[in-house]
Structure 1
Amino acid sequence: MPDSSRQQRRREQTRARLIAAAKNLVAVHGVDGVGLSEITEAADLGAGTFYNYFRSRDDIVEAVVEESIESVGARLDKLTASLSDPAEVFSFSLRHLVRQAVTDPVWGWFVVRLGVAHPKLLAILGPRCARDLRQGVDSGRFTIPDIELATACVFGALLSTLRYTLSRESAAHVEETFAQTMLGMVGVPADEAWDVASRELPDLPGAE
């Protein structure tokens, strides 16, 4: 293998160690409870190495968000692109986000600890949520007086649901119940909301 390829692989591995360390620490302590020294110690790397890849703690947290959440958002986009029912799009997306937290608790706690106010989280998932809600309104499926406010409500409910789910040993049917509740919030009748929320959930496409 050429030296340049070997060096590139080492750089990617080092960056991945820093990313993984930051993700794990934020999942436990929150953003404000994590400093650069904790990240480099957990990654078993020096501070000088850190600055070869990131400018600050906020910079690496943004990178973790981009890598951990944008990939899920992109896979949801692929899953729902061929669906014609906005209620199903909304339901499947919410259920997969809850399921992702259950199957990958570090990811789930990272999102919870990050908080609803983090600009990068909002920038990645906010427009997707607003898009899905707007499609529901345009199709006549949803009744929403204010899409921006509804988006904020969905975000708050999602983070609360993730925390609720992760804090319990067993939380059966939480993803379906959450989707049903959010469908009711946007105007889908209760019996129909449960029908949509309890449909078989397709697997997420693989990450590119």
Structure 2
Amino acid sequence: MAKSPGTTAADERPVMGRRERNALRTRNALLRAAREQMAQGGPESVTILAITERADIGQGTFYNYFKSRDDLIDEAILDTVERLGQRLDAMSHGLEDAAEVYSFSLRHLMRTALSDPVWGWFMVRVGIAQQGLLQALGPRAARDLQYGVDTGRFTVPDVRLAAAMTLASVLGAMREYLEHRTVGDPTDHYAEYLLRMVGIPPIEAHEIVQRPLPPLPDAVDDED
């Protein structure tokens, strides 16, 4: 159905009642508490008691929203990374140069970790083994790399392997910076190295990462 002039997707979303809004706030508070706990101590540090105390919610209420501790962890990881993936998709929409799409996404991933260390540690401590991270970012990395191959910009014999290397390297670079911070912002150097990995010549890779970085659109948040 076509939208009427002047309407937005937000205008067309169903209006929630007070009870629904309160329930969504409680669920989001639990997810936020889980993200913060994992950022500090990794997934193994998450307990129902720790999360409900951090969220200031009764333990009995927890089970109205999640079946178990593991259910909460899985949902928190997928929710966090998927939201970022959607923002990266929106940022790159309409860009034609695969090298820009790839490098802009890499630069935003790194700068998000630098500007928000809690989020950065969340990503590092969740790690590459977590399915939520792989499900949300893995296919996007493979898609962008395949687009580069199809348009002749990238030389990548194995797209799946290159996507896995991309995710592993971003987590490694985040950890190196967050642990040591012995150098300045490594974002552009990191993106330049990855462009060279996929076949962009060194001089051109250096020029691409100097291009102005488009802003990352805000997340389309639920009621918080």
- Smaller-chain TM-score bracket: over 0.9
Instruction: Please give the per-residue CA displacement for 1:90-119, whole angstroms capped at 9, x wherever unaligned.
Output: 000000001111122111111111010111
Alpha-carbon shift at residue 169 of structure 1 (Å): 4.2
Q: Which residue of structure 1 lines up, in the alignment, with residue 83 of structure 2? A: 71
C-alpha distance in structure 2 between counterparts of 1:173 and 1:20, whole Å: 27
1:47 match: 59
Instruction: Write the deviation string for residues 138-180 of structure 1: whole angstroms up to 9, x where unpaired.
Output: 1111111111111111111010011112224464241101100
Q: 2:189 is matched with which residue?
A: 177
Match of 2:118 in 1: 106
1:71 maps to a residue whose letter is: R
Task: Please say if 1:30 is aligned against 2:42.
Answer: yes
The residue identity in structure 2 corresponding to 1:200 is P
Alignment-mate amino acid for residue 218 of structure 2:
G
Instruction: Please show how residues 1-208 of structure 1 align to structure 2 within 5 Å.
Output: 5-169=17-181, 171-208=183-220
The answer to whether the 8 A contact 1:65-1:120 is kept is yes
Amino acid at match of 1:205: P
What is the RMSD of the two structures over their aligned residues, measured on CA atoms?
1.5
Tell me the matched-pair count.
205
Displacement of 1:65 after TM fit?
Answer: 2.1
TM-score (norm 2): 0.87
Q: Deviations over 1:4-34 (max 9, x none)?
A: 8222222122112211111111001111122
Q: Matches of 2:147 and 2:22 in 1, distance apart?
A: 44
> Which runs of structure 1 show a deviation greater than 6 angstroms over 4 or more consecutive aligned residues?
none
Aligned-partner residue type, residue 142 of structure 2:
A
C-alpha contact (below 8 Å) 1:68/1:107 kept by paired residues: no
- State the SS of the aligned residue for 2:184: coil
Give the letter aligned to residue 130 of structure 1. A
Unaligned ranges ≥5, structure 1: none
SS of 2:17 mapped into structure 1: helix
**d(CA) in 2 for partners of 1:184, 1:114:** 27
Letter in 1 for 2:39: A
2:207 partner amino acid: D
Residues of 1 paired with 2:70 and 2:133: CA distance? 13
